Amino acid sequence: GSNQIVPVTFKPTTAISYGGNIVVSSNAGSGTNTISCSGVGTSIPSSVISLSGNLSFGNLQVGNSSSLNLTITNTGNSDLTISSISYPSGFSGTWSGNINPGSNQIVPVTFSPTSTISYGGTILVNSNAGSGISTITCSGTGTSVPSPAISLSGNLSFGNLQIGTTSTNSLTITNTGNATLSVSSISY
């Protein structure tokens, strides 16, 4: 007429369904000595990071800025926590926070060249991700600031000319730069 409680432990080792019968061996002459048991092993919650976006800025004039979007996606089954983002020289941005499973966050990346050189490198997203790719490349080229450049030419050697008469020669003003040249006046 008594009973005994026996703890039964389930400890899955793989993400599969488990089941079967527990058999109690005894000296019992009758009764049921089996009972069914079941359980499902699930994967360990983890965040999985994925980065996407076209971060090829092309040519940009020195002193200007342009922004493109980096998308950070959490394809895992637990929160993805972004602690910081590291950028190569010439690129910047800022964002930190949590991304829920199956969600994403758009982060603007700014390119601000300070020299007429090619910029590029790898953006690194620092997070608690259990797996995935946490880097993406970016590139851009700083171009020179447009400026006008003046060049004068022409034969302005008039030689001998009788008083009271007029002679005209041509002065050619050429803009050899890459921006509009504005002539405000000419002094003679």
Retrieve residue 140's tokens.
């851009």
pLDDT at 178: 81
pLDDT at 65: 97
Distance, in Å, from the CA atom of 182 to the CA atom of 171, rounded to the nearest integer, reads: 16
Distance, in Å, from the CA atom of 138 to the CA atom of 109, rounded to the nearest integer, reads: 9
Segment (H or E) for 102: none
> Using CB atoms within 10 A of its CB, is residue 22 exposed (0-12), middle (13-18) or buried (19+)?
exposed
**pLDDT truncated to tens, each residue of the chain (188 aa)?**
899 999 999 999 998 999 999 999 999 989 899 999 999 988 777 899 999 999 999 999 999 999 999 999 999 999 999 999 999 999 999 999 999 999 999 999 999 999 999 999 999 999 999 899 999 999 999 998 888 889 999 998 989 989 999 999 999 999 988 889 999 999 98
pTM for this predicted structure = 0.65
Q: What's the one-letter identity of residue 114?
A: T
Distance, in Å, from the CA atom of 69 to the CA atom of 125, rounded to the nearest integer, reads: 14
Sign of CA dihedral 76, 77, 78, 79: positive
pLDDT at 96: 96
pLDDT at 187: 93
Distance, in Å, from the CA atom of 117 to the CA atom of 176, rounded to the nearest integer, reads: 22
pLDDT at 29: 87
pLDDT at 78: 93
Retrieve residue 165's tokens.
């008469």
pLDDT at 42: 83
Segment (H or E) for 20: strand 17-23
11: number of Cβ within 10 Å: 7
pLDDT at 55: 98
